[in-house]
Amino acid sequence: MLIDRAEVVVTSPDRNFVTLKLTTDDGLSGLGDATLNGREMAVVAYLRDHVVPMLIGRDAHRIEDTWQLLYRGAYWRRGPVTMAAIAAVDTALWDIKARAAGMPLYQLLGGACRDGLLAYGHASGQDLPELFDSIRERRALGFRAIRVQSGVPGLPPVYGTASAARDVEVWDSRSYLRHLPSVFEAVRSEFGPQLPLLHDVHHRLTPIQAARLGKALEPYDLFWLEDCTPAENQEALRLVRQHTTTPLAIGEVFNTVWDYQQIVREQLIDYVRSAVTHTGGITHLRRILDFAAQYQIRSGMHGPQDVSPVGMAAALHLGLALHNFGIQEYNPHGARTDEVFRQSFTFTDGLLHPGSEPGLGVSLDVDEAGKYPYARAYLPVNRLTDGTLHDW
């Protein structure tokens, strides 16, 4: 079964998505997500100019060998562009293999380890009444675990709050640190002790500030505190760990198992945040999570709207087959995106399931995709109140 055609499809139904579609000489096709939010066209060029020419005529069954060829064979390793491109090829080949076998992909990964995947949804508000309404709304949709993001008094809307969509945000860590514990105190007293609550700091604190926050949030029993410090400084987590037992999640901007080497071996985290899309595909993320499993670290795969339905489906198949699955982020896509990508995964009573169609269970309507051309877009940036550029 040889790879006969490779198309890179860029579409922007509700936001930009990059999808690789591989087709074999016997007519089977597979999809892979290569969306890198804000830098999409760099991956398109990497795929079209450098990867696709290497794929035509290769045996579609040789997933591991193709991964090694694209990784080792490039000499230049790692990095978000390279690893998103490799992820798309890897995912598309797994999709093809599972379609050829006539099985949903999770069966080829070892079969289901559970009935469904616990998902967390996003709730946010500028103030407590707005936040409580948002939590109630998420719970009414069935979510059994909730990420809580709140506005900070004195600042314009910040990351994760619904109205924050602006090009430049403003940040002040001291105001945030003073305010956030009171938000969790109020949420706990309104919604009780049982509901799993999560929070994303989005890389903004220094190690000692993160340590202080983790400690201050301990009474509210968070499921996790995410990206409490910038991801590059892995030693920072040692300091955070010394001060708090609040569980830590990190890794949505990591690309390889080597980014996790130190923090997994030293048990500095509790959840791996990587998505299939940004981490070299199913093959490589499985490798990371098998390594993490030796230290009782579990998965908490990134599932924002900028991971396409193809990337989400890949996460669900892998999550179902992993023993050390933890939780899955789920931020449903818009109606137009769902028209472009027909999906078979389900969300019932707070649990996601990839469905039983062969392969990933996602099909791409190329005509529908063609209606929505690429629209250049950037992530916001974040500045301190004096104008200094800060981590977003």
Catalytic residue among 46, 106, 159, 260: 159
Asked if 270 touches ligand KDG (CB under 6 A), the answer is no
H/E stretch holding 364 reads strand 362-364
Q: Examine residue 306 and tell whether it contacts ligand KDG (CB under 6 A).
A: yes
332 binds ligand KDG (CB under 6 A): no
How many residues sit in the footprint of ligand KDG (CB under 6 A)?
9
* 174 φ/ψ angles, rounded to the nearest 5 degrees: -65, -40
Binding mask 201-220 for ligand KDG (x = CB under 6 A): -x------------------
Token representation of residue 130: 């707005």
Instruction: Tell me if 259 contacts ligand KDG by CB under 6 A.
Output: no
Q: From CA 252, how far away is CA 261, in angstroms rounded?
A: 15
Whether 199 is a known active-site residue: answer no
* Residue 80 interacts with ligand KDG (CB under 6 A): yes or no: no
Residue 333 DSSP symbol = P
Which residue from 130, 68, 123, 118 is spatially nearest to 93, judged by alpha carbons? 68
Q: How far is the CB of 8 from Mg ion (least distance, A)?
A: 27
Does 329 bind ligand KDG (CB under 6 A)? Our answer is yes
Q: How far is the CB of 284 from ligand KDG (least distance, A)?
A: 19
CA distance 273 to 251: 5
Nearest CA among 244, 291, 242, 286 for reference residue 265: 291
Check if the beta carbon of residue 221 is closer than 8 Å to that of residue 214: no
The option from Mg ion, ligand KDG, none interacting with 259 (CB < 5 to 8 A, set by class) reads none
Instruction: By CB under 6 A, tell whether 200 contacts ligand KDG.
Output: yes
Q: Tell me whether residue 159 is one of the annotated catalytic residues.
A: yes
Provide Rg for the chain, Cα atoms: 21
Under 8 Å between Cβ of 237 and 203: no
134 part of the interface to ligand KDG, by CB under 6 A: no
Pick between residue 252 and residue 270 the one whose CB is nearest to Mg ion: 252
Q: How far is the C-alpha of 315 from the C-alpha of 273, rounded, in Å?
A: 11
Give the one residue of 90, 252, 259, 270 binding ligand KDG; rule: CB under 6 A. Answer: 252
37 binds ligand KDG (CB under 6 A): yes
Q: Which of ligand KDG, Mg ion, none binds 306 (CB below 5-8 Å, type-dependent)?
A: ligand KDG
Give me the half-sphere count of Cα atoms (radius 13 Å) on the Cβ side of residue 201. Answer: 32
Q: Are 29 and 355 in contact (CB under 8 A)?
A: no
Catalytic residue among 202, 278, 333, 353: 202
Instruction: Please report, as ranges, the residues that interact with ligand KDG according to CB under 6 A.
Output: 37, 200, 202, 252, 302, 304, 306, 329, 379
Which positions are catalytic? Answer: 159, 202
